[in-house]
Amino acid sequence: MARLFVFAIGGTGARVLRTLTMLLAAGVRLPNCDQLVPVLIDPDTDNGDVKRTVALPRRYAALHAALYPAGAKPASGFFSQPLTTLAG
């Protein structure tokens, strides 16, 4: 299983990660990647961008699990790229 860890650092990294999550929701697939693991690094935890960005991958993962239960591996479609958060 090929995992891709994406490190997003600071406020700009949070915005890039949020954009990447929206692209994945639209059906964009990452080649040679079975699972995407976002890692957000920002010392300013009270930042609004960080709070929104932390919530978005969790929502994405919940939608992916609801749309593709029992480990289904769709080739394409909305929310088809598996995403796992380290925070759980």
Q: What local confidence, expressed as pLDDT, does residue 88 receive?
A: 58
Residues forming beta bridges with residue 40, ordered by sequence position: 8
Cβ atoms of 76 and 42 within 8 Å: the answer is no
Cβ atoms of 25 and 83 within 8 Å: the answer is no
Could you list the pLDDT tens digit for every one of the 88 residues in the chain? Answer: 789 999 999 888 989 999 999 999 999 988 888 889 999 888 887 777 778 888 899 998 999 989 988 777 787 889 989 888 887 5
Q: Residue 87 has which token pair? A: 């925070």
pTM for the predicted model, two decimal places:
0.84
Q: What local confidence, expressed as pLDDT, does residue 19 receive?
A: 94
CA atoms of 18 and 8, how far apart (whole Å): 10
